[in-house]
Amino acid sequence: MNAFVAVAERLSFAKAARQLGVSRSTFSETIRALEEKLGVRLLNRTTRSVALTEVGERLLAELRPALESFEAAVESINVFRDKPAGHLRLTVPRPAAKQVIEPILATFLTANPAITLEVVIESALTDIVRDRFDAGIRPGHRVEQDMIAVRVGEDARATIVASPDYLTRHPRPKVPGDLQEHNCFRQRFASGVIHRWDFEKRGKSLEVIVTGSLITSESDLAIRAALDGVGIARVPAIYAEPHVTCKRLVPLLEDWTPRSVGFFLYYPSRRQMPAALQAFINVLKTQAR
């Protein structure tokens, strides 16, 4: 039944099999055996698509609350343990993994040996209820309003950088508007939107539409191109700092701060908080203090 819900929610045998940690062939056999046992077809599948039948839609609607009740029943046992146990599954963007999770990783795992922590690195706005995540970490403005959110990190501060070689061949920008005359590397979000470069100075906000020869969702690629003197990158400061320290990259427009927001851990408000998630939040709060 759990396998059926996984494929019904994702409409993909490959994605559902990965989530459950089994081979695709094993997963397909599980669904085939379920349909044979029930005597009905639950899914229509071709080589390119998967769709629920009417019976499958009915079964999915009935199973969701049943599985949530089952998970809550298993979770209730945790109160009788000396230490919390279970599987904690989080979805986080790469900067948050480095800035929020890395500093507390050893502390959390050492203090909670009975918890298995799974961290999925992705920038897309994942539906944590549909995809069976216990919680996620995202910038505050990207957290849905029906979620409970807890601030867990400082602002994801960005920095504008270029190589010394690039600056010997091009005039150094003095104000954000000067960036429109430069080759600037842009970021495309998972939604398809290209990020605009925004700045703040003494309470004044400014947004600049830049252009350039590279569009990527990975900061590492933008930094590599900047190191090679191709253009100017806007990346999380935590990624650029080692190169700035070694003077391979030069920070620009330091009196204009790229706008940033804090990281928040969020989880569904209608769901009882798992003990493993509470233990994770406690470690984050201790680290913050």
Tokens encoding 208: 């600049």
Model pLDDT, residue 226:
97
| 182: helix, strand or coil | coil
Model pLDDT, residue 135:
92
Is it the case that residue 76 has pLDDT exceeding 80?
no
Q: How confident is the model at residue 181 (pLDDT cuts 50, 70, 90)?
A: very high
* Domain total in the chain: 3
Does 211 lie in the same domain as 201? Answer: yes
Nearest to 143 by CA among 108, 92, 187: 92
Where in the sequence is the domain holding 224, given as residue range(s)?
A: 158-258
Does 49 lie in the same domain as 66? Answer: yes
Model pLDDT, residue 7:
85
CB crowding 138-163: b at 16 or more within 10 Å, else e: bbeeebeeebebeebbebbebbbbbb
Q: How confident is the model at residue 79 (pLDDT cuts 50, 70, 90)?
A: low
Instruction: Write the CB contacts of 22 (distance below 8 Å, at least 6 apart in sequence).
Output: 30
Tokens encoding 232: 């100017």
Does 31 lie in the same domain as 65? Answer: yes
Model pLDDT, residue 122:
84
Model pLDDT, residue 91:
93
Single pTM value for the model: 0.66
Does 247 lie in the same domain as 169? Answer: yes
Does 250 lie in the same domain as 183? Answer: yes
CATH number of the domain encompassing residue 69: 1.10.10.10
Does 73 lie in the same domain as 89? Answer: no
pLDDT tens-digit series, residues 58-72: 888 888 777 777 776
Show the beta-strand stretches assigned E in the chain.
43-45, 50-52, 86-92, 115-121, 135-139, 147-155, 158-162, 184-187, 197-201, 204-208, 215-216, 232-236, 250-252, 257-258, 262-268
* Average pLDDT for the chain: 86
pLDDT tens-digit series, residues 84-114: 888 899 999 888 898 899 999 999 999 999 9
